[in-house]
Structure 1
Amino acid sequence: MITTESGRMTFGIGLPIGDPEGLTEWALRAENGPFSTLGLLDRLVYDNPEPLVTLAHLAGVTQRLRLQTEVLIAPLREPALLAKQAATLDRLSHGRLTLGVGVGGRADDHEASGTELRTRGKRLDAQIATMRRLWAGEPYSDSCAAIGPLPHTAGGPELLFGAFQPAALERVARWGGGLLAAAPPAWAPRLFDAVRRFWAEYDRPGSPRIVAQVNTALGAPEVIDDARAAMSAYYAFNEYGNSMVDGMLTEPAQIRTAAQQFADMGVDEVVFYCYGRDPEQVDRLADILG
């Protein structure tokens, strides 16, 4: 058992995006393992399943796992409709939704959605303000009534932010409940320290929830090669894509070491993103993490 100062660190499964029909089996296996969360990535101009629709389906085949977007590119979406979708999923899952959001960085995603890439941060701030009001049951405007249903979770589902830059890290403390960090142990601490500093500056009670993301693939060489190819294609737009692929963990000892490193940093949860499409990934991870 890996523990932190605040207690036992939990583990999530990041679902592969290349085989939507197979995700039910992944969810059922995770439900029976030592996992707390199902995570799912988001893109628009890509061959991936839409995360809110997919997690709504998986909510129906699970009972205890949290359903987490990592991260939903909120500025691509209209805020009132997004608020309604998130509240509905939180309601149907009995409060199991964690809405992880971020601004995204793909110009083609914004082109396809008809939104501006350069103003995505300001748009996200405005979206969150609107969604918070709607989740509290307030009217949309003086001339437009409230938009239901109310979420199961009072005030709205748990809200986490994917962030790297100072403005985005400050947004965690201003609007959210914590950070989603797709960063390796070597440079994740600066992100955690920044968020905790902003948290204190905003005089927020308690501490921010910190969720780390680790890319992994376990199995035969052909499984790992397939996972690397899938990850490389997904992050082809990113200047750090090759280093991310190179950093994929493929050995049990690497996974245990990373989990312990994050625990020592006070991380609350580690989500292991599996780019291999073989659902045996779930069982292999379960054996390693216990």
Structure 2
Amino acid sequence: MSTVEYLLPTRGIVASSTSTTELTARASADVVGLARRAESLGYDGLWVGDSVLAKPRFEPLVTLGTVAATTDSVELGTAVYLPVLRHPVHVAHMTATLDQLSGGRLSLGVGVGVRPPEREEMRQLGVDYERRGAMLNEALTVVSRLWEGTAIDHAGDHYRVEDAGIGFEPARKPPIYVASAAFEPSEGFPRQIQRRLIEHGDGWLPIAMPPEEYAAGRTYIAELLEGTDRPNDAITPGYYLDVVVAESEATAIERAREFYRDYYGEQVAYRSEQALSRAEIRKRGAFGTVDAVEERVAEYLDAGVERFVVRFPAGDQRRQLRAFSSVAETVL
């Protein structure tokens, strides 16, 4: 049975608040309040995004710590965390702490950042943008070893530690979900993502991928694992699904288009007419009436999605939460 998990609007509240007072109020209402609301509606998890400079938002692990303290049992996740913006020792320490304090609820979705503002963000933080994929893979090796709780030595191309240990293990080793936006059925994934999936992936979390392409990606991952000692079903198939429920598909897509323009600002990838076309928006998820959204979600289920991380690219988060909960009850 597939799970449905909700992405909290930790960027949206920062981007749209006009004062510190307003932001403080919305932190309570639209992070803590929405987290509690989603749990009460039966959502299985709560996720947050990440950025330091490129897309200002609340720090993800601190946010999830607060969410953990105000919820009972929902899963917690990052969609997606950018480990290369921090040293892997810090990443291991923070994530193990959060997992302990939440009782073993953390899933770590990871990525590298692909847009121009993220390139500038990495430059300012001293990260080589062109080598970020290899850096992430090595960072995950260090983090996974540190999660074992004993001191380690590591001398790699990007990180060196000697007799380093955080002193404890997470309550449950957080499953690592590998994000991807690039997949070509005839060519597969880029080389670094292939390595990340094989060596570190407990789950797959793509975005902007229509159901038929998603199914091809699942098949490709199974083929990747055939040459390893891991079973073909070792990687849980997730999907980052954008949803807007409205009276028509046209209305839903226009609301999503407006959201993307506001959310991504001057980022070239979301300023082009092609990227904002109906076809390009539609492949990101499910848009339209309840019946249309149910049909689209069913297509992703048929393609093999087992874990939906749902973002509502619209302003009325509470209405969308409620509407989609009925979709989940019907389809899932």
Instruction: Compute the TM-score of the two structures, normalised by the length of structure 2.
Output: 0.77
The answer on 1:161 being equivalent to 2:178 is yes
Q: Which of 281, 285, 289 does residue 324 from structure 2 map onto?
A: 285
Is the alpha carbon distance of 1:227 and 1:52 closer, same or farther for their aligned partners in structure 2, counting shifts above 3 Å?
Answer: farther
Match of 1:280, as an amino acid?
A: R
Which residue in the other structure is 1:5 paired with? none
Match of 1:238 among 269, 284, 304: 269
Equivalent runs, 1:121-136 vs 2, <5 Å: 121-136=133-148
Q: CA deviation at 1:277?
A: 3.4
Out of 11, 21, 28, which is 2:36 matched to?
28
Return the alpha-carbon distance in structure 2 between the equivalents of residues 237 and 23 of structure 1: 29
Quote the residue 1:146 is aligned against.
Answer: 165
With over 3 angstroms needed to count, the CA separation of the structure-2 counterparts of 1:32 and 1:224, relative to structure 1, is farther
**1:216 counterpart residue number:** 243
What is the aligned counterpart of 2:79 among 65, 70, 78? Answer: 70
| Aligned residue number for residue 204 of structure 1 | 230
Instruction: Verify the 8 A CA contact 2:32 2:70 in the aligned structure 1.
Output: yes
Q: Is the 8 A contact 1:259 1:270 kept in 2?
A: no
Output the amino acid matched with 2:237. Answer: I
Instruction: Say which of 74, 95, 111 aligns to 1:86.
Output: 95
Say if 1:265 and 1:245 are closer, same or farther in 2 by CA, change over 3 A: closer
Q: Which fold has the larger relative contact order, with Cα–Cα distance below 8 Å and residues 6 or more apart in sequence?
A: 1
Q: Which residue number in structure 2 is paired with residue 173 of structure 1?
A: 198
Residue-by-residue CA offset, 1:51-93 (whole Å, 9 max, x unaligned): 1121111111111111111111222221100111111111111
Q: Aligned AA for 2:5?
A: G
Structure number, greater radius of gyration: 2
Deviations 1:103-160 (A, max 9, x none): 111312212322010000110111011011100112143843411332011xx21111
Q: Alignment partner of 1:275: what SS?
A: coil
CA distance in 1, matches of 2:222, 2:31: 35
| Larger helix proportion of the pair | 2
Counterpart secondary structure, 1:202: coil
- 2:106 and 2:70 map into 1 onto residues whose CA distance is 14
Name the % identity: 27
Work out the CA distance in 1 between the residues paired with 2:295 and 2:167: 45
Distance in 2 between residues matched to 1:184 and 1:56, nearest whole Å: 33
- Conservation of the 8 A alpha-carbon contact between 2:222 and 2:232: no
Q: Is the 8 A contact 1:15 1:23 kept in 2?
A: yes
Counterpart CA distance in 2 for 1:85 and 1:166 is 29
1:12 alignment counterpart: 5
Give the Cα–Cα distance (whole angstroms) in 2 for the partners of residues 166 and 194 of structure 1.
12
- Tell me which amino acid in the other structure corresponds to 2:143: M
Residues 200, 138 of structure 1: alpha-carbon distance in 2 compared, 3 angstrom cutoff: same
**What is the number of equivalent residue pairs in this alignment?**
281
Q: Which piece of structure 1 moves more, 10-19 or 231-240?
A: 231-240
- C-alpha separation between the residues in 2 aligned to 1:196 and 1:143? 36
Change (3 A) 1:234 1:201: farther
Cα distance in 1 for partners of 2:148, 2:140 equals 12
Q: What amino acid is aligned across from residue 187 of structure 1 in structure 2? A: E
Query: Which runs of 5 or more residues in structure 2 are unaligned?
Result: 14-25, 154-160, 183-188
Residues 43 and 226 of structure 1, relative CA distance in 2, 3 Å threshold: farther
> After TM superposition, which residue ranges in structure 1, 4 or more long, deviate above 4 angstroms?
219-227
Instruction: For residue 30 of structure 1, report the CA deviation from its aligned partner.
Output: 1.1
- Paired AA for residue 60 in structure 1: A
Contact 2:237 2:307 in 1 (8 A): yes
Q: Aligned in 2, Cα 1:93/1:277: closer, same or farther, shift over 3 Å?
A: farther
- Segment of structure 1 superposing worse, 182-191 or 97-106: 182-191
Task: Look up the equivalent residue of 1:139 and give its one-letter code.
Answer: A
Write out per-residue CA displacement over residues 218-242 of structure 1, whole angstroms, 9 at most, x where no aligned residue. 3589997565323234443426742
RMSD of equivalent CA atoms: 2.4
1:271 paired residue number: 309
- How far apart are the structure 1 equivalents of 2:92 and 2:119? 24
Distance (whole Å) between structure 2 residues aligned to residue 135 and residue 201 of structure 1: 26
Counterpart CA distance in 2 for 1:220 and 1:108 is 40
